Amino acid sequence: MALVSFKNTILHNLVSKPKTRRAEKEYPVGTRGHVENDMDLCVLCGLCSIKCPTHAITVDKAAKTWSIMPMSCIQCRCCVDNCPKKSLSMGLRFQEPGEEKITKTFKLSEKAIAAQEALMKAAKERAAAAAAAKAAQAAQGGAAPAPAKAPAQAAPAKPAETDK
């Protein structure tokens, strides 16, 4: 009898759907997700690090890196909402589980580094041009001529008084 029951169980399991769910690749609707940074857009301004209530984010401008401690993050979205370059977002894909409190570090992309260097170079060139123009003006005789004053308007003529 037990053998028949066992056989039935085997047959049932062979034709029925699995009772377990496949591992999902995306978080269910309504989940906040985890913080992701597009290192092509980030300018390492550090605002996300300042705004983070749990100090989960670190920005190292010298090393051109942005780091996050995922286990310290409480998914409040504060960093995402305050990022001026919109490089942060709440990713909805599952991440590798882990037991240790790791820090994930991302380096600024070559594209972002090149863009920043171009901006700094342009700013330096503008500053140098402004300084040169100022020096040339000083050499020519001091301050720039004051803008011409508008001619004073003549007072309206009074009507001639008549003796009564």
Q: What is the DSSP letter of 84?
A: T
The encoded tokens of residue 125 equal 């060139």
Count of residues that interact with ligand SF4, criterion CB under 6 A: 29
CB nearer to ligand SF4: give 76 or 115: 76
Helix H or strand E segment including 82: helix 78-82
| Binds ligand SF4 (CB under 6 A): choice among 43, 65, 109, 115 | 43
Q: Residue 164 and residue 60: Cα distance in Å, rounded?
A: 91
Residue 70 touches ligand SF4, criterion: CB under 6 A: no
Residue 52 touches ligand SF4, criterion: CB under 6 A: yes
Secondary-structure breakdown of the chain: helix, strand, coil percentages, each rounded to the nearest 5: 35, 15, 50
Residue 88 touches ligand SF4, criterion: CB under 6 A: yes
Q: Residue 141 and residue 135: Cα distance in Å, rounded?
A: 10
Residue 79 touches ligand SF4, criterion: CB under 6 A: yes
**Residues in CB range of 123: below 8 A, 6 or more apart:** none
Q: How far is the CB of 96 from ligand SF4 (least distance, A)?
A: 18
Contact residues for ligand SF4, defined by CB under 6 A: 35, 37, 42-48, 51-54, 56-57, 59, 66, 68, 73-79, 83, 85, 87-88
